[in-house]
A and B are shown apart, each in its own frame.
Chain A
């Protein structure tokens, strides 16, 4: 713990990102104790179009959602979508990256060309296709996370492969090989622990990608329209032309939450990048 604190001091980007993320998580978990999560974040909960004031400190929207409740529940949901997509994406990425980088040969050729082709197709468009083709499936948080993870594996896979390639030839891996460790054992006991900061960085990047993609989909109106996620809130802001009727609080609040969420993830991966690639430490 002391080590962590002193590290944060040296690496303000990571510290700031981590603090914002913790704040958002607390906001959505502790906040749920104080707001009505059963009715509040859904339509017709209270009077519509109320500006921020006593009773509804974040105001209400055009359909009578209590925006404080929407923010509390929605922040959680959006982070959840990101976490599901990020975890699955990173999981697939780790398997692909390690197989491709460590075993090489035909696996490497197949996997790298798959990654190259997949990364050249704008993933967001594929998501639009998939999500709107299977429109009879209710796109809740879990489904959204699953769909978004379809595009979030390629980035981590490529990055992990490159890291594994450079690590494979290091002396300590040679030593482990000479010591009679099996391939799987080397990967699990030697490579993964050494790549840990890098993997955490990849995780925060793929959570970032997942949240971006889900926001984009929901912004186009794809997804469960009842779920008060941040993307859906934005969709309704646009759908009911919040700007034209002057409900500024309805625009500013989701924008603020999204900016905080995305910035925190970027800051975290930016900070972790310094540990993962010591080369960049010098310049900053």
Chain B
């Protein structure tokens, strides 16, 4: 029932996004305050924004979010806006829309995040497979596993702090912050820019890889041990197959599948974790913009980034869900029953 499975995931995807959007809508209303007015008042008082201009901005928001209309109409307007990725204007950087900022900053974050997750997943799975293989010498696992347990249980930004201190500050191997060299302009066709971007991304990538690969290595190791206990493995050994053949064709392939589900589940944690880590790297990507939005009370930017991340993660998970049954024919397409 491929179609039914597909539809079920689509409905689920929409449910997730809708829930997140509704939370976004409900929360500000629950405070009983008017953040736009408060913010504009403050800007008039301290940043010299002109009252007339403030009134224009206010009207703009009223029109955009139907704030002067009844609540249900506001809700419908909000959901329609969100469906069109229209999150309004940033309150601190007024003429810029939230979406503009998300695209500009997300461009910095996306490439290193994708590379980091890919490296972490592949590396972690390999390491775990080797650790779980019964031909691996025992001392090797005994040395490797304790640090893996520590790394997999701490948040990324903790690793980030230590890496920044040693690799960037003490040994000056890598830059302390920024996604690229300050003297360059952003131009993705320029090899010099790309090189600088890659160089600056090394530490953020390393901290995602250290934390996430450790988690996957431990999970993969446990799966390998389980698969080694299966009858077909015993049979393969009894047939006298070469150990490497058993490793690649029997153990690795079967143990790999649960790790893929693990990837889908971890995705949200990885992305939010690296968003916090970015603040420590002073990276000026989407995550540190989120941090700035929080500390400057730029609500529209904050809500926009959060919703954008939720949608991004939901879509990524959806794609994984679609790919997974293709890889594992044993998976039934029907809903799981208790």
Residues on A lying within 8 angstroms of B by beta carbon are 104, 108, 113, 116-118, 120-126, 128-130, 132-136, 165, 208, 212, 215-216, 219-222, 234, 237-238, 243-244, 246, 248, 251, 255, 258-259, 262-263, 265-267, 270, 280, 282-284
Which has the most chain B C-beta neighbours within 10 Å: A116, A255, A266, A283? A283
State A254–B309 Cα separation when bound (angstroms). Answer: 29
On chain A, the residues within 8 Å of B16 by CB distance are 117, 120-121
B222 interface hit (Cβ, 8 Å): yes
Instruction: Tell whether, in the assembled complex, residue B280 and residue A238 are in contact, meaning their CB atoms are under 8 Å apart.
Output: yes
| Further pairs besides A133-B28, A243-B176, A263-B150: 5, Cβ < 8 Å | A113-B15, A136-B33, A238-B280, A246-B169, A259-B154
On chain B, the residues within 8 Å of A258 by CB distance are 154, 158
State A126–B15 Cα separation when bound (angstroms). Answer: 16
B162 interface hit (Cβ, 8 Å): yes
B108 interface hit (Cβ, 8 Å): no
On chain A, the residues within 8 Å of B12 by CB distance are 116-117, 120
CB distance from A147 to the nearest CB of B (A): 12
Instruction: Tell whether, in the assembled complex, residue B150 and residue A259 are in contact, meaning their CB atoms are under 8 Å apart.
Output: yes
Give per-residue flags for B1-41: 1 if the beta carbon is below 8 A from chain A beta carbons, else 0. Answer: 00000000000100110011001100110110100000000
B268 interface hit (Cβ, 8 Å): yes
Instruction: Tell whether, in the assembled complex, residue B19 and residue A117 are in contact, meaning their CB atoms are under 8 Å apart.
Output: yes
Instruction: Tell whether, in the assembled complex, residue A121 and residue B272 are in contact, meaning their CB atoms are under 8 Å apart.
Output: no
On chain B, the residues within 8 Å of A208 by CB distance are 153
Which has the most chain A C-beta neighbours within 10 Å: B158, B225, B229, B269? B158
- From B224, which residue of chain A is reached at the shortest CB distance? A283
The one of A216, A221, A263 that contacts B149, using a Cβ cutoff of 8 Å: A263
On chain B, the residues within 8 Å of A122 by CB distance are 268-269, 271-272, 309-310, 313
**24 sampled A-B residue pairs with Cβ under 8 A:** A113-B15, A117-B16, A120-B12, A120-B268, A120-B317, A122-B309, A124-B268, A125-B306, A128-B290, A129-B306, A133-B30, A215-B155, A216-B157, A216-B272, A216-B273, A216-B276, A237-B161, A238-B279, A243-B176, A258-B158, A259-B158, A263-B150, A266-B153, A283-B229
What 4 pairs across the A-B complex have the smallest Cβ distances?
A122-B268, A283-B225, A266-B153, A124-B272
Instruction: Tell whether, in the assembled complex, residue A120 and residue B314 are in contact, meaning their CB atoms are under 8 Å apart.
Output: yes
- From A135, which residue of chain B is reached at the shortest CB distance? B297
CB distance from A173 to the nearest CB of B (A): 15
Instruction: Tell whether, in the assembled complex, residue B229 and residue A121 are in contact, meaning their CB atoms are under 8 Å apart.
Output: no
State A282–B297 Cα separation when bound (angstroms). Answer: 53
State A274–B141 Cα separation when bound (angstroms). Answer: 19
> DSSP class of B's interface residues: helix, strand, loop or mixed?
helix
State A150–B20 Cα separation when bound (angstroms). Answer: 14
State A104–B225 Cα separation when bound (angstroms). Answer: 34
- From B24, which residue of chain A is reached at the shortest CB distance? A129
> DSSP class of A's interface residues: helix, strand, loop or mixed?
helix
Instruction: Tell whether, in the assembled complex, residue A126 and residue B294 are in contact, meaning their CB atoms are under 8 Å apart.
Output: no
Instruction: Tell whether, in the assembled complex, residue A129 and residue B273 are in contact, meaning their CB atoms are under 8 Å apart.
Output: no
Instruction: Tell whether, in the assembled complex, residue B155 and residue A221 are in contact, meaning their CB atoms are under 8 Å apart.
Output: no
Give per-residue flags for B206-247: 1 if the beta carbon is below 8 A from chain A beta carbons, else 0. Answer: 000000000000000010011001000000000000000000
Which has the most chain A C-beta neighbours within 10 Å: B272, B290, B303, B309? B272
Residues on B lying within 8 angstroms of A by beta carbon are 12, 15-16, 19-20, 23-24, 27-28, 30-31, 33, 149-150, 152-155, 157-158, 161-162, 164-165, 168-169, 176, 222, 225-226, 229, 268-269, 271-273, 276, 279-280, 290-291, 294-295, 297, 299, 302-303, 306, 309-310, 313-314, 317, 338
- From B150, which residue of chain A is reached at the shortest CB distance? A263
CB distance from A109 to the nearest CB of B (A): 10
Instruction: Tell whether, in the assembled complex, residue A129 and residue B154 are in contact, meaning their CB atoms are under 8 Å apart.
Output: no
Instruction: Tell whether, in the assembled complex, residue A212 and residue B338 are in contact, meaning their CB atoms are under 8 Å apart.
Output: no
Beyond A122-B272, A280-B222, A283-B226, is A128–B165 a contact (Cβ under 8 Å)? no
Instruction: Tell whether, in the assembled complex, residue B27 and residue A130 are in contact, meaning their CB atoms are under 8 Å apart.
Output: yes
State A121–B15 Cα separation when bound (angstroms). Answer: 10
State A243–B165 Cα separation when bound (angstroms). Answer: 6
CB distance from B5 to the nearest CB of A (A): 15
Instruction: Tell whether, in the assembled complex, residue A133 and residue B31 are in contact, meaning their CB atoms are under 8 Å apart.
Output: yes
Instruction: Tell whether, in the assembled complex, residue A221 and residue B294 are in contact, meaning their CB atoms are under 8 Å apart.
Output: yes
On chain A, the residues within 8 Å of B23 by CB distance are 126, 129
Beyond A125-B272, A221-B294, is A255–B161 a contact (Cβ under 8 Å)? yes
Beyond A134-B31, A283-B225, is A267–B149 a contact (Cβ under 8 Å)? yes
Beyond A129-B27, A283-B226, is A248–B165 a contact (Cβ under 8 Å)? yes
State A222–B155 Cα separation when bound (angstroms). Answer: 17
Instruction: Tell whether, in the assembled complex, residue B153 and residue A251 are in contact, meaning their CB atoms are under 8 Å apart.
Output: no
On chain B, the residues within 8 Å of A270 by CB distance are 149
The one of B152, B165, B269, B291 that contacts A220, using a Cβ cutoff of 8 Å: B291
Beyond A220-B279, A234-B161, is A262–B317 a contact (Cβ under 8 Å)? no
Instruction: Tell whether, in the assembled complex, residue B20 and residue A121 are in contact, meaning their CB atoms are under 8 Å apart.
Output: yes
State A123–B313 Cα separation when bound (angstroms). Answer: 12
Instruction: Tell whether, in the assembled complex, residue A128 and residue B306 are in contact, meaning their CB atoms are under 8 Å apart.
Output: yes
